[in-house]
């Protein structure tokens, strides 16, 4: 993951680029896919309730705190086995039925056909080469959703004992070491220690889709220039980041900023989140 992300972040830091408009379908992101869901039951997941709080993200608005409400998150990324169960029921998301507008030609490129994947892939490895549209559909069909960037970053800033470990050199070194592992997506979930929330594999196996991945685009020559064009992102915006030493986070934000919703990338997977029920509040 490091070599790909390293190239992306260098481009992100040095250049401003006009982003081509998203496919027409991205404009309908609020249209529920779950209306088309059939009875789909995945291998049982464990979700953990995350107690919300405030934190300063890498790109905070005027370096202010961002509040994250309580929510649920899957303990593990979605696996090959679980995604196979999904496409067995929902044929519209099978490899042969996928439309270009919802996924590029790399969609499930490591699968042999619609209902089987290569022998080198393990059942308990994270599914990858799945577009944002497909990941979002999977979550919605389980009455879940993709986590937001703030939710993902909020739980990912933890280590085994600290809710916020970002100031620890050992934390950043650990993450960078995980990002250096080749073909990490072939690893199995749950092999390492959980973080303080009890979540596994936020770092070290795959990058993960978020609901609002395209909201990280930074515009203009500085954070103060008032240019809010959402179709323009510029690497010089990184100069306004809260912690220039947090290279691991730069890699994630730069990677997200390079994505489009129909991209399917070999080391990009996902996990689901869920809102807290009103009765629990």
Report the distance separating Cα 74 and Cα 47, nearest Å: 4
Q: Which tens digits make up the pLDDT trace of 115-132?
A: 999 888 999 999 999 999
Task: Yes or no: say if 172 and 248 are a contact pair by the CB < 8 Å rule.
Answer: yes
Task: Yes or no: say if 25 and 133 are a contact pair by the CB < 8 Å rule.
Answer: yes
Average pLDDT of span 65-79? 95
Instruction: Calculate the average pLDDT of the chain.
Output: 77
β pairing state of 16-18 and 66-68: unpaired
Q: Indicate the angle between helix axes 169-179 and 247-257, nearest 10 degrees.
A: 50
Q: Which tens digits make up the pLDDT trace of 32-60?
A: 444 457 666 666 668 999 999 998 887 54
Q: Which of 179-188, 225-234, 272-281 has the lowest mean pLDDT?
A: 225-234
Q: Report the domain count for the chain.
A: 1
Report the distance separating Cα 46 and Cα 199, nearest Å: 10
pLDDT at 185: 80
Nearest CA-CA partner of 161 in 151, 170, 149, 153: 170
Nearest CA-CA partner of 73 in 48, 45, 44, 42: 48
Task: Say which residues have a Cβ less than 8 Å from residue 20's Cβ, sequence separation at least 6.
Answer: none
pTM: 0.78
The 3-state DSSP class for residue 23 equals coil
In the predicted structure, residue 19 carries a pLDDT above the cut 50: no
Residue with the bigger pLDDT between 234 and 90: it is 90
Q: Look up the domain containing 144 and give its range.
A: 2-280
Nearest CA-CA partner of 166 in 70, 55, 1: 55
DSSP 123-167: TTSBP-S--HHHHHHHHHTTT-BPPPHHHHHHHHT--SS-S--TT
Report the distance separating Cα 230 and Cα 19, nearest Å: 9
- Selection from 37-46, 62-71, 74-83, 228-237 with the highest mean pLDDT: 74-83
Task: Yes or no: say if 223 and 240 are a contact pair by the CB < 8 Å rule.
Answer: yes
Residue with the bigger pLDDT between 182 and 155: it is 155
Report the distance separating Cα 203 and Cα 245, nearest Å: 18
- Selection from 1-5, 203-207, 260-264 with the highest mean pLDDT: 260-264
**225 confidence band (pLDDT: 50, 70, 90):** very low
Report the distance separating Cα 221 and Cα 237, nearest Å: 7
In the predicted structure, residue 103 carries a pLDDT above the cut 90: yes
Residue 11: give its domain's CATH number.
Answer: 3.90.1580
Q: How many CA atoms lie within 13 A of 8 on its CB side?
A: 19
């Amino acid at each position: 993951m490091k070599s790909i992300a390293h190239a992306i972040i260098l481009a992100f830091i040095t250049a401003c680029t006009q982003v081509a408009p998203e496919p027409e379908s991205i404009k309908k992101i609020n249209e529920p896919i779950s209306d088309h869901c059939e009875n789909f039951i995945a291998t049982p997941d464990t979700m953990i309730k995350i107690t919300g709080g405030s934190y300063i993200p890498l790109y905070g608005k005027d370096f202010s705190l961002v509040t994250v409400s309580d929510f649920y998150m899957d303990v593990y990324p979605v696996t090959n086995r679980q995604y196979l169960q999904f496409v067995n029921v929902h044929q519209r998301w099978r490899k042969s039925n996928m439309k270009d507008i919802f996924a590029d030609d790399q969609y499930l490129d490591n699968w042999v056909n619609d209902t089987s994947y290569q022998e080198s892939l393990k059942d308990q490895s994270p599914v990858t080469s799945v577009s944002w549209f497909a990941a979002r559909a999977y979550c919605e069909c389980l009455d879940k959703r993709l986590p937001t960037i703030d939710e993902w970053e909020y739980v990912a800033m933890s280590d085994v004992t600290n809710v916020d470990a970002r100031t620890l050199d050992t934390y950043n070194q650990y993450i960078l070491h995980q990002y250096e592992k080749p073909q990490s997506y072939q690893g199995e979930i749950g092999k390492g220690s959980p973080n303080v929330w009890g979540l596994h594999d936020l770092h070290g196996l795959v990058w993960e889709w978020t609901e609002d991945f395209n909201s990280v685009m930074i515009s203009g020559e500085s954070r103060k220039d008032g240019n809010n064009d959402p179709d323009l992102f510029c690497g010089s915006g990184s100069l306004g980041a809260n912690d220039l030493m947090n290279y691991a986070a730069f890699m994630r934000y730069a990677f997200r900023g390079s994505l489009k919703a129909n991209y399917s990338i070999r080391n990009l997977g996902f996990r689901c989140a869920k809102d807290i029920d009103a009765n629990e509040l």
